[in-house]
Structure 1
Amino acid sequence: MTTTTQWMAQDIDPNEPSAARAYDYLLGGQHHFEADRRLAEQVLTVLPARTMSRQNRDYLHRVVPFLIGEGITQFLDLGSGLPTLGNVHEVAHRADPTSRIVYVDIEPAAVAHGRRLLADTANAAIIQADIRRPETVLDAAETRELIDFSRPVALLMLGVTQFLHDEDQPWEVTARYREALASGSYLALASFTWDNDPETMRKTIAMFKDSGRSPIVPRTREEVLRFLGDFELVEPGLVYAPQWRPQTPSDGPAPSNLYVGVARKP
């Protein structure tokens, strides 16, 4: 855990594990407690979560500059976790300090910590909302203050779709967000998949069930493509995370348990 506690929010129980802080631990961050580390280590017994977390964050580091290069300066990040370790606002502001970012998370701990971490950051905010209820996200005061939906927006869903169960109508929910976006907007996805290693995913689902937590929902390539609707995939299409516009020779051919892709609204 970090040697400073300035990021800690009041009224947060450090003994209650947080998925957002566990993700920070898997990425090598400092914003976590013992309960979070225990949760992460439990996941690591069945899933290469540290590798997947790193692949997801590396993808973010490639996709945000790509989007800014396409003229996007507004980002709505669903299921964001903590705004640390090179998250969207840090990457975007290096390229364009005027970029505006709204993070969205359902977890009270993630939002409470996030608000403290972003307290001195211009053009960035985090809100607590259930992304399964799009209107609560789209109509939030912080969203309306920072995001102009008459202009192109980047909608980011990086590692959140596995928490949306089929009964949540995830494709219809995502369609509502797509409808709210102006022409020229983008949707960037990173989604757990069965396709590469179904046995590992079955073990992970069983572990979540056995621990009393809501299980994750990996999906096939066809199911992930449905999230994009009629948006137009940009090259190289829907691929495993290391294969999306690799920047070094070590990236590229190795598969993973994450499908990623970026698509543009016509």
Structure 2
Amino acid sequence: MERSSDRHSTGTAAQAPSVAGMYDFYAGGQQSRDADRQAATAAMAALPGLDVAVSANRAFLRRAVRHAAERGVTQFLDIGSGYLAPGDGNVHDVARRVVPDARVAYVELDPAGVAHNRALLRDTPGTVAVRGDFLKPHDILTDPEVCAVIDLDRPVALLLVAVLHFIEDKDDPWGKVGELRDALAPGSHLILSHAYIKPDTGSGPDAIKGVYRTFGSSLQNRGPVETGRFLDGFTLLEPGLTAMADWRPDPDTETEHPMSHSGVVGVGVKP
């Protein structure tokens, strides 16, 4: 869940939670502020196992990036990257274990996240961290720093991981994905994950929506049909749309907790 609400720089709004900061807390990172931690704690109380779902989402991302690299993709555009983590689990780390010269552009809306990512990548050639908004695809695709590492005339793996469920229908997220898709070369991949809790699971879906609503962020609970529309124009790879832990699991993939089987994920290739 990595699309960020913009942090404000003045007044009481400066203390509002950030979606990116909350996600960092769920994932066990160190970049969250007090407001982020308080909101994230409330969200985990509303939906127990949310941290398990985030862990499963990150594991899916790593498996999908590795798979794209094994298929010969050498460029990765991660929109809604959130806070990168020290260590070797970020997109460029995973991709470069397969393709040593893989190039990665990280795009994040939260300015604090961008500053953190730039500092972390300072000594990592072939990577860039920029501020950008999923709702403005053209601005991302023409950003000079992005264009310095991503050649749109060659296949790209586009990552929209835990981003789209923060975009309301009225903002036409399907159309925005279509703009991005149309700019990609054949052979490009779309790596996608979307939050989804089955409506018959009690009050959890509504409760967590209420937590995010308190600071002005909308959370969509789209199922496989609606989420599958984001992959229009791509050839869906096996095993198709699945829950997070069920997409090409590694032998050590955690599958016991039911929240690891929440969400909808898929990987498609542009013909």
Query: If the length of structure 1 is used for normalisation, what is the TM-score?
Result: 0.89
Q: Is the 8 A contact 2:17 2:215 kept in 1?
A: no
Query: Are the equivalent residues in 2 in contact too, given 1:237–1:262 (CA < 8 A)?
Result: yes
Q: Give the structure 2 partner of residue 83 of structure 1.
A: 84
1:1-266 equivalences in 2 (<5 Å): 15-47=15-47, 48-84=49-85, 86-195=89-198, 197=201, 199-209=203-213, 211-248=214-251, 251=254, 254=258, 256-266=261-271
Partner of 1:5: none
- Cα distance in 2 for residues equivalent to 1:140 and 1:124: 14
Instruction: Name the stretch that deviates more: 24-33 or 215-224.
Output: 24-33
Give 1:36's aligned amino acid: D
Q: Is contact 2:167–2:218 with CA below 8 Å preserved after alignment?
A: no
1:205-231 residue CA offsets vs partner (Å, 9 max, x unmatched): 12222x232221110211000000121
Between the two proteins, the alignment pairs up a number of residues equal to 255
AA at the equivalent of 1:41: T
Query: In the TM superposition, what whole-angstrom CA distance separates every residue of 1:62-106 from its partner, at most 9, and x where no partner exists?
Result: 111101000001000111101215121121122222101011111
Question: 1:262: Cα distance to partner?
Answer: 0.3
SS at match of 1:95: coil
SS of 1:45's equivalent?
helix
Q: Which moved more, 1:140-149 or 1:31-40?
A: 31-40
Cα distance in 2 for partners of 1:38, 1:99 equals 37
Give the whole-Å Cα distance in 1 for the aligned partners of 2:37 and 2:216: 16
Q: Give yes or no for contact 1:18–1:109 (8 Å, CA) kept in 2.
A: no
Contact 1:149 1:182 in 2 (8 A): yes
Please give the alpha-carbon distance, in whole angstroms, between the structure 2 residues aligned to 1:165 and 1:17: 19
3-state SS of paired residue (2:194):
strand
**Which amino acid letter does the alignment assign opposite residue 187 of structure 1?**
L
SS at match of 1:58: helix
Q: Which amino acid aligns with 1:170?
A: P
Higher relative contact order (CA 8 A, sep 6+): 2
SS at match of 2:216: coil
* Deviations 1:133-159, CA, capped at 9 Å, x for gaps: 100000001111101111110000000
Q: CA deviation at 1:16?
A: 4.9
What's the CA shift for 1:251?
4.3
**How many percent of aligned residue pairs carry the same amino acid?**
37
Change (3 A) 1:88 1:249: closer
User: Are the aligned partners of 2:44 and 2:50 in contact in 1 as well (CA < 8 Å)?
Assistant: yes
Query: Is contact 1:244-1:252 (8 Å) kept?
Result: no
TM-score by length of 2: 0.87
Corresponding letter in the other structure for 1:76: L
Q: Taking structure 1 as reference, are residues 198 and 232 closer, same or farther at Cα in structure 2, changes over 3 Å only?
A: farther
Secondary structure of 2:218's partner?
coil
Amino acid at match of 1:46: A
Q: Deviations over 1:159-186 (max 9, x none)?
A: 0001111111100000000001111111
Distance 1:49 1:43 in 2: 8
- What is the distance in 2 between the residues matched to 1:120 and 1:198? 47
Distance in 2 of aligned mates of 1:252 and 1:49 = 14
1:22 alignment partner AA: M
Which segments of 5 or more consecutive residues in structure 1 lack a partner in the other structure? 1-10
Q: Is the CA contact (8 Å cut-off) linking 1:79 and 1:131 kept in structure 2?
A: yes
Shift of the 68–43 alpha-carbon distance from structure 1 to 2, 3 Å rule, reads: same
Q: Take 1:28 and 1:14, find their aligned partners in 2: how far apart are those partners? A: 23
